[in-house]
Structure 1
Amino acid sequence: MARSVYVTGIDRGDGRQAVELGVMELLTRQVDRVGVFRPLVHAAAPGENGTDHVVELLRDRYRLDLSPAELYGLTYEEAAALQAAQGQEELVSALVDRFRAVERKCQAVLVLGTDFAGTNIPDELAFNARLANEFGAWVLPVVGGHDEDPQAVIAEVLGAHRAYLDLGCSTLAMIANRVAPGIKQQVQRALSEKLPIPSYVIPEEPALAAPTVAQLVEATDAEVLLGDAAGLTRDVRSFVFGGAMLPTFLDALTEGALVVTPGDRADLVVGSLAAHAAGAPPIAGVLLTLGQHPGPNVMALAARLAPGTPVAVVPEGSWPTAATLTHLEGRLGPASPRKADIALGLFELHVDTAELTKRIELSRSERVTPMMFEHELLERARGDRRHVVLPEGTEERVLRAAEILLRRNICDLTLLGEPEAIRRRAASLGIDLPQDDGTDRAQVRIVDPASSPLRQRFAELYAELRAHKGMTVELALDVVTDVSYFGTLMVQEGIADGMVSGAVHSTAATIRPAFEVIKTSPGASIVSSVFFMCLADKVLVYGDCAVNPDPDAQQLADIAVQSAETAAQFGVEPRVAMLSYSTGTSGSGADVDKVRRATELVRELRPDILVEGPIQYDAAVDARVAATKLPGSAVAGRATVLIFPDLNTGNNTYKAVQRSAGAVAVGPVLQGLRKPVNDLSRGALVQDIVNTVAITAIQSQSPTAAEGTIQ
């Protein structure tokens, strides 16, 4: 029987969507077939089935293989009609049938309770409790604490717990959400003392309550004249209504403001976009009223001043537009991925997910999907938070990855570059780099190598390390202003635990400083790389597909040992296949002999590692082929670490599998260095960067990691 969690509340405005997202993340870390079920949904229009923005977010983000129709029970209108005609028992029976259809296909199901928004359901709390009991689901009540004093929040949580308990529910935990940060600890202490089950308090996060530009465009039926998709996801933190002359108007601008002004005020349009381009301050966008479009010359100038910044027009005047805008609150949905990451970061920071998982009694799935592997990376990195330096501080993908890493509390970061340029670039992209707020959340520092007090120290160190090459302190002062060298020296000195670069720099520019400064780890004769190849139901490790063109037998054996150790470090049981075009003793020649000798060396160096070679790829991974070619082998047909004889074979194979089999390739991950430095593909996506940083953080999680202080 599937394990189900029913997230519900007691009233509107509790922000439980963030909790629903957090629980979904928790479930998908443990099992690979998770379902979502919304018993009742508002119809999109009369006669339509309707959809829900949270369900659509979960379906999109977690790639659910259920059909849209399976995710919903009935519309509220259909439910009201059924209850009126046949009674509540028939309504409940119909919803249970729809739920069971989802449950039969899944290992766990997240149920999203009714939203207490114009539902016309008598005693809605009792109705949710009844459904949860019929579904056999844990209940996770969420109580909103927005604008409430501590005594009120405590009383409402205790009252909700008693209500669901009296209705026979199995309550998983109690959550107070959107609580003022200043009273969080007081509320948490009181609930921990008074409740017999776990309780968690999640503080208010203004970024979640802020609507996005896209949401405002939808609400006002605006026509978008300028702006890109990323610009439309920006949060609107305030409104500035333009009517004053430009100098006075500019003084009123604040970061994240939406400028609302008549379309004929070209001075205010151009002035606000010019202020945005200068970062003084960056705005969310411009909304023009009265249906007036600025002239072509003004629009052309606007496009050049702030590319990507939304400019939209509405037919109404400022007053009715203001009435619409001021009642909107942010919401989670497929169009707001940034808000989803903010919500997950809050949930993971303030809720003990390990405790919840234990109470649900989820058993980890034997299959490892790409999503589960990525979740495991992030969870392990977060569990022992490290400090990673990112030299490419102004690159858009790096900044977007940094925002996710910080919001999810995966690691602390240092971004290298001129601070004002980085902050201006982030602001122009609508990226919010969290400031140090005194909490335990991940922090970011911005360091300019050219002006850092560390420059002299690093120059002296580099000159000493490279003295045999004629390096002097005077020359080194210039070398260490290079972001790759500066970042590498931060790692060497223990100021950062690892470095990730390569989004805009070449592989050589990234790893050459590591060869010169960090050097190879004891016992390693070579630096090599692996890719984690996440297939539909398992994770394989491929090495070396990125660094060494034609390793000899000794180097190939070293790569195999390193790759087996890396695999074990990331939860992949190492069974090593030394690949060749021949299996066993069936072939001969220099290439096969090299692989055969490398296999012998691995057995001599590490008799504890299961290794087979030479072996062909099909015999390594297909049990049926292995039974014919190498019967009785402990590796053949079950290999998890595949070592290619040269870079040409490895690089082409990993790309072929990636493209043809739809595998997720995570890497390259460098191995053999004394401290972790990892290279990115210049085509890396934001999620690739997030994964690589998480891997780097995990690599650094060792008791020998040095400590340092940044200035």
Structure 2
Amino acid sequence: MTRSVYVTGIDRGDGRQVVELGVMELLTRQVDRVGVFRPLVHHTPDRLFELLRARYRLSQDPATVYGMDYQEASALQAERGTDELVSTLVDRFHRVARDYDVVLVLGTDFADTQFPDELALNARLANEFGASVLPVVGGRKQTPGSVLAETRNAHRAYEALGCDVIAVITNRVDPADRAAIAEGLDARLPVPAYVLPDEPALSAPSVAQITHALGGKVLLGDDAGLARDALGFVFGGATLSTFLNALTPGCLVVTPGDRADLVVGALAAHSAGTPPIAGVLLTLDERPSDEVLTLAARLAPGTPVVAVASGSFDTASELFAMEGKLSAVTPRKAEVALGLFERYVDGGALLTRVSAPSSDRVTPMMFEHKLLERARSDRRRVVLPEGTEERVLRAAEVLLRRDVCALTLLGPVDQIRKNAADLGIDLGDADLVDPQTSPLRDRFAERYAALRAHKGVTVELAYDVVSDVNYFGTLMVQEGLADGMVSGSVHSTAATIRPSFEIIKTKPDASIVSSVFFMCLADKVLVYGDCAVNPDPDAEQLADIAIQSAETAAQFGVEPRIAMLSYSTGTSGSGADVDKVRRATEIARSRRPDLKIEGPIQYDAAVEPTVAATKLPGSEVAGQATVLVFPDLNTGNNTYKAVQRSAGAIAVGPVLQGLRKPVNDLSRGALVGDIVNTVAITAIQSQNPNPNPSQHPNEKASEQ
């Protein structure tokens, strides 16, 4: 029978969407087919379901998600009674449940409804659905004693109504009270209790939301600027010096439109990063002159300046009543929410209590989830040399919000901060280092000169070389100030990995550096090597690539069954190219007799059981290969791109292998998600025992 999780509450304002998103994240890590059902909905399309559908690539027909709207439900209950209402909703739930391994049920929201006992209705529906219940209690602006009592009462209420309560989550508590409340609940409840602190960034409205709600007109700014969250409001009316002292990070400046001095001053402060603001809201339908707007656009490109017709008092009243919402158009808020959930909820323990069935399939999303989970389990530091680039900054925000790893960003520190401010990105505790001015530059120059003395490199020459961000980042890895490096979004592959050849060098048992791609197909993950580094490896090198690829596969949970690819299978063909693959297979088998290796073998015989039964019967690899080793770069690179485009596969990589410490290269067309995955892979690669125990992996290279 389908297992279901029913996320519900006891009142409105509990911020339950954070929990619903977090539970969906947990379920999709373990189960391929997850359905969503909302028994009662105010209007469609439902904001949260649209977020879940976009984020988790749900194929579920939206028409099946909703039981009925509140108006229909109220009329049905009044006319035919609660039993008929429940019976109808149960029928509609089972239409979803029969097609999915597990269903996430989104309980009623206790807002603008006409049900006299909404808690009891949720409890009954959960019981009729056969769903486990996860109550959420809101704790905003409550004392610790009140929160403790309300949470215990919520557990007691649902348990008394016969529900299978798997845990209780208290949300939006004062951060200063969180630990005490968690300790109190642990001692008083028979089920796990998780306590989430209030997170201002989740309830903060975006500038775009404010503009829409107030009917404002955008005078300046771009989409990235409008997506910034307004973390507070500063109302301008004082002198400029007093006003500037009142600015806070992420605030929205609200000022009459004729105060050009405050507009220019606020944007100049933002440009200097002291502090970065969300934008400027001009009241009274007054607008600065064209000359002032031109200056404003140059001071802080992309920062929104919005004009509204209302006065400051009316504007303030509306602003203080607004609250940000999770939706498909606020993906950054989703990352904040997931980071909060993952930091304070023991996902593994909760998932065990759900008893969701494990899937034999490994979908792309499940693979990506496992990457982040593994990286987070043993947190490492990764250096990103391209610290001023927009995609890198956006990826950094995701990685920090999700607590995947610690980060060091390289580049001019003021420029990194300004670019982050322009994007509305909070870099949190990321370490920012400018290679040009860092006190590490002298030390690195001496180190690099010593490593390259045989090439005639002097300390003076090395001083210039190590100011390059990729060389500096590679030396940070070599010196133990970072565990790995990821670059390449704007640098060539050669510029990214050449320093690692000179500084980090290959492992003792590796003759070359090679690469793999993780090819995430619809129902499995294959490992392709080498598709990015070695143009025409000889037999010895090809054997090395096979062994390295098998080790990488195993490290990331893919059981290695290695196919040495050629245009011929078994003994059916001959020629120099086939003979190279045959020789490489023999070498790999002799070096690693414990590995399952087959070759030469054609691609179809390697992955398709029916073809394998004909061409190579009895092979323990043919038809079920997971690691596919291509004979040359031309074949490998074209094949991975063909599979990526024609089969809709997600290609994660290239992942470099054979180096003593991990350095990975990005495609210059890499998306933010690609960067996040590559950084997570790099962090996982570094989780092997450090070969030099004297180097502390998480020592920070600060500017101080």
TM-score range, shorter chain: over 0.9
Q: Is the 8 A contact 1:574 1:610 kept in 2?
A: yes
> Which residue matches 1:7?
7
Q: Is the 8 A contact 1:178 1:205 kept in 2?
A: yes
> Which residue matches 2:619?
633
Residue 356 of structure 1: which of 329, 332, 350 is its match?
Answer: 350
Query: Aligned partner of 1:38: which letter?
Result: R
> Which residue matches 1:696?
682
> Which residue matches 1:336?
330
User: Which moved further from structure 2: 398-407 or 581-590?
Assistant: 581-590
Q: Is the 8 A contact 1:492 1:518 kept in 2?
A: yes
Matched, 1:552 2:538: yes
Query: Aligned partner of 1:209: which letter?
Result: S
In structure 1, C-alpha distance between the alignment counterparts of 2:260 and 2:645, rounded to whole Å? 49
In structure 1, C-alpha distance between the alignment counterparts of 2:599 and 2:456, rounded to whole Å? 45
Q: 1:300 to 1:105 in 2, by over 3 A?
A: farther
Secondary structure of 1:524 counterpart: coil
Matched, 1:125 2:119: yes
Matched, 1:710 2:704: no
Matched, 1:683 2:669: yes
> Which residue matches 1:24?
24
> Which residue matches 1:452?
438
Matches within 5 A, 1:61-460: 61-244=55-238, 246-292=240-286, 294=288, 296-435=290-429, 444-460=430-446
In structure 2, C-alpha distance between the alignment counterparts of 1:11 and 1:276, rounded to whole Å? 40
1:280-304 deviation digits (Å, cap 9, x = unpaired) = 3221122233445555554444433
Query: Aligned partner of 2:283: which letter?
Result: T
User: Which moved further from structure 2: 471-480 or 24-33?
Assistant: 471-480
> Which residue matches 2:507?
521
> Which residue matches 1:615?
601
Q: Is the 8 A contact 2:101 2:357 kept in 1?
A: no
> Which residue matches 2:487?
501
Q: Is the 8 A contact 1:214 1:233 kept in 2?
A: yes
Q: Is the 8 A contact 2:411 2:435 kept in 1?
A: yes
User: Which moved further from structure 2: 274-283 or 163-172?
Assistant: 274-283
In structure 2, C-alpha distance between the alignment counterparts of 1:240 and 1:627, rounded to whole Å? 73
Secondary structure of 2:321 counterpart: coil
User: Which moved further from structure 2: 473-482 or 483-492?
Assistant: 473-482
Measure how far apart 1:267 and its partner are: 4.3
Q: Is the 8 A contact 1:574 1:640 kept in 2?
A: yes
1:574-619 deviation digits (Å, cap 9, x = unpaired) = 1111111222222221111111111111111111111111112122
> Which residue matches 2:650?
664
> Which residue matches 1:482?
468
Measure how far apart 1:247 and its partner are: 4.7
Q: Is the 8 A contact 1:619 1:625 kept in 2?
A: yes
Measure how far apart 1:266 and its partner are: 4.2
Query: Aligned partner of 1:27: which letter?
Result: L
> Which residue matches 2:42?
42
Residue 562 of structure 2: which of 557, 576, 589 is its match?
Answer: 576
In structure 2, C-alpha distance between the alignment counterparts of 1:278 and 1:111, rounded to whole Å? 47
Q: Is the 8 A contact 1:38 1:112 kept in 2?
A: yes
Query: Aligned partner of 1:62: which letter?
Result: Y
Query: Aligned partner of 2:150: which letter?
Result: E
Query: Aligned partner of 1:497: which letter?
Result: D
In structure 2, C-alpha distance between the alignment counterparts of 1:574 and 1:621, rounded to whole Å? 13
Query: Aligned partner of 2:69: which letter?
Result: T
Q: Is the 8 A contact 2:37 2:105 kept in 1?
A: yes
Secondary structure of 1:631 counterpart: coil
1:681-709 deviation digits (Å, cap 9, x = unpaired) = 11111110000000001111112354323
TM-score, normalising length: structure 2: 0.96
In structure 2, C-alpha distance between the alignment counterparts of 1:484 and 1:112, rounded to whole Å? 47
Secondary structure of 1:77 counterpart: helix
Secondary structure of 1:326 counterpart: helix
Measure how far apart 1:245 and its partner are: 5.2
User: Which moved further from structure 2: 624-633 or 120-129?
Assistant: 624-633
Secondary structure of 1:477 counterpart: helix
Matched, 1:466 2:452: yes
Secondary structure of 1:588 counterpart: coil
Q: Is the 8 A contact 1:576 1:639 kept in 2?
A: yes
Q: Is the 8 A contact 2:283 2:311 kept in 1?
A: yes
Q: Is the 8 A contact 1:279 1:428 kept in 2?
A: no
Secondary structure of 1:92 counterpart: helix
Matched, 1:564 2:554: no
User: Which moved further from structure 2: 24-33 or 611-620?
Assistant: 611-620
Matched, 1:540 2:526: yes
Secondary structure of 1:109 counterpart: strand
Q: Is the 8 A contact 1:82 1:91 kept in 2?
A: yes
Q: 1:286 to 1:28 in 2, by over 3 A?
A: same
Secondary structure of 1:531 counterpart: strand
> Which residue matches 1:46?
none
User: Which runs of 5 or more residues in structure 2 are unaligned?
Assistant: none
1:399-430 deviation digits (Å, cap 9, x = unpaired) = 11111111101011111123222112211110
Query: Aligned partner of 1:628: which letter?
Result: T
Q: Is the 8 A contact 2:521 2:648 kept in 1?
A: yes
TM-score, normalising length: structure 1: 0.95
Measure how far apart 1:477 and its partner are: 2.3
In structure 2, C-alpha distance between the alignment counterparts of 1:233 and 1:510, rounded to whole Å? 32
Secondary structure of 2:443 counterpart: helix
1:373-409 deviation digits (Å, cap 9, x = unpaired) = 0001000111111111111111111111111111101
> Which residue matches 1:55?
49
1:494-538 deviation digits (Å, cap 9, x = unpaired) = 221111111111111111111111111121000000000111111
1:48-73 deviation digits (Å, cap 9, x = unpaired) = xx232112111111111111111111
User: Which runs of 5 or more residues in structure 1 are unaligned?
Assistant: 44-49, 436-443
Query: Aligned partner of 1:189: which letter?
Result: E
RMSD (Å), alpha carbons:
1.7
Secondary structure of 1:15 counterpart: coil
Query: Aligned partner of 1:388: which letter?
Result: V
Secondary structure of 1:618 counterpart: helix
In structure 1, C-alpha distance between the alignment counterparts of 2:156 and 2:366, rounded to whole Å? 36
User: Which moved further from structure 2: 344-353 or 485-494?
Assistant: 485-494
Secondary structure of 1:611 counterpart: strand
Measure how far apart 1:96 and its partner are: 1.0
Secondary structure of 2:515 counterpart: strand
Query: Aligned partner of 2:28: which letter?
Result: T
